[in-house]
Amino acid sequence: MLPPSFFLRDAASVARDLLGACFRSRVDGTEVSGVVVEVEAYIGPEDPASHAAARIGRTERNRSMFGPPGRAYVFRSYGMHWCLNVVTGPEGFPAAVLIRALDPLSGIEVMRRRRKGKEPLASGPGRVAEALGVTGALDGHPLQVPPLELLRGWQVPEDRVAVSGRVGIRQAAHWPLRFFLRDHPAVSRGPAPGLPSP
């Protein structure tokens, strides 16, 4: 398991180091897992794209973002898709890392069933949550215990890591807070590395 100190850092640092980590889900008694290959950081109240930006403050929807670190923040996107985030930083400071893509590792047939046979299985945040069986019931769940755990995984060398602006947001889209494995097929579409979002 990743120790509590891993999450007690700024969201951008945690985001980069989550590449290569492994999510293991035992939702509904079936085990699936996948390696993190793409993430986005939302760095706190000064981040205008964050669900907990200063203009919004603490709400019922974003309460899990305020900690403790190392927990899941799960939200509904456009009323359609659940999205999985990892809470970072000190308790009371709202920051999190959105899990944008996984490389499926085990339980692939279960993922296919959850995704109703649609490919890719876990490329894009809505697909990640669906493949893992994550719903709002896991909002605030500590990621050190079943049914959703975050394991250390593999070290990713710097030359494999690409950085770009964030995807699908209007404000601060050009901030270099999206980290992903260069040329990995599971990475979702987004702006080119080192360039601002369109």
Q: What is the pLDDT along the chain (198 residues), one digit of tens a residue?
A: 898 899 999 999 999 999 999 999 999 999 999 999 999 999 999 999 999 999 999 999 999 999 999 999 999 987 789 999 999 999 999 999 999 999 999 999 999 999 999 999 999 999 999 999 999 999 999 999 999 999 999 999 999 999 999 999 999 999 999 999 999 999 987 765 654 433
Give the CATH number of domain 4-181; options: 3.30.420.40, 3.40.470.10, 1.25.50.10, 3.10.300.10: 3.10.300.10
How many other CB atoms sit within 10 Å of the CB of residue 160?
Answer: 15
Quote the CA–CA distance of 94 and 64 in Å, as a whole number: 8
Enumerate the domain spans of the chain.
Answer: 4-181
Q: How many helices (H) and strands (E) does the chain have?
A: 4, 9
How many other CB atoms sit within 10 Å of the CB of residue 91?
Answer: 11
73 touches 86 (CB < 8 A):
yes
Residue reference for tokens 């993190």: 36
Quote the CA–CA distance of 124 and 39 in Å, as a whole number: 10
Q: Which of 65, 73, 72 is nearest to 89 (CA)?
A: 65
Strands (DSSP E) found in 52-146: 72-77, 81-87, 96-106, 144-145
Task: Indicate the pTM of the whole model.
Answer: 0.94
156 touches 19 (CB < 8 A):
yes
